[in-house]
Copies of this chain bind each other. A is one copy, B any other.
Amino acid sequence: MAEPGKKALRSWRRLEKAHDLVSGRIEQALKAAGLPPLLWLRALEELERHGDRGPRPYELQTALDLEQPAVSRVLARMAAAGLIARRECADDRRGWTIATTPLGHEARVRAAEVYATALFAHFLAHLGEKQARSLDEILGDLLDSLRS
């Protein structure tokens, strides 16, 4: 193939920079509001999605795309903070199921709000309708291609 082209190379640098800037600002907004980091929000959202019987840690691993030790520690911290609770798992005594506490639910609601606001302020507000659609499509194709 011919030279990658400067535009293409530059697009990667820009993607990196945009990611760093936006996620940095969102993280900062959460911290400023006295809320847990994005990762915890993701975990709480994933819990909520599971209905009555909370998921097992290993299920979160794929959903959050983390290494197993990372999951173990995040959950330990969240439990220590009172946002989740360990529930005995009847059919497998090695593991446990994750239950959201009322405190955890409240944190999730507030964090989601702050997150949405920050994401809008630091990303969505800077994109036109057409640009957003185009970006979504290009990145969707890219991800498909990367995973195949």
Assuming the contacts A15-B135, A18-B15, asked whether A127 and B142 have C-beta atoms less than 8 A apart, the reply is yes
Assuming the contacts A126-B146, A139-B11, A145-B126, asked whether A19 and B21 have C-beta atoms less than 8 A apart, the reply is no
Contact A138 B135 (CB under 8 A): yes
Closest chain-B Cβ to A68's Cβ sits at a distance in Å of 16
Any chain B CB within 8 A of the CB of A70? no
Contact B15 A139 (CB under 8 A): yes
Assuming the contacts A16-B19, A19-B16, asked whether A11 and B132 have C-beta atoms less than 8 A apart, the reply is yes
Tell me the count of chain A residues lying within 8 A, CB to CB, of chain B: 43
Q: Mark A117-148, 1 if CB is under 8 A from B, else 0.
A: 00110111111010111111011111101100
For A139, give the chain B residue with the smallest CB separation.
Answer: B14
Q: Mark A3-29, 1 if CB is under 8 A from B, else 0.
A: 011011111101111111111000000
A17 partner residues in chain B, CB cutoff 8 A: 139, 143
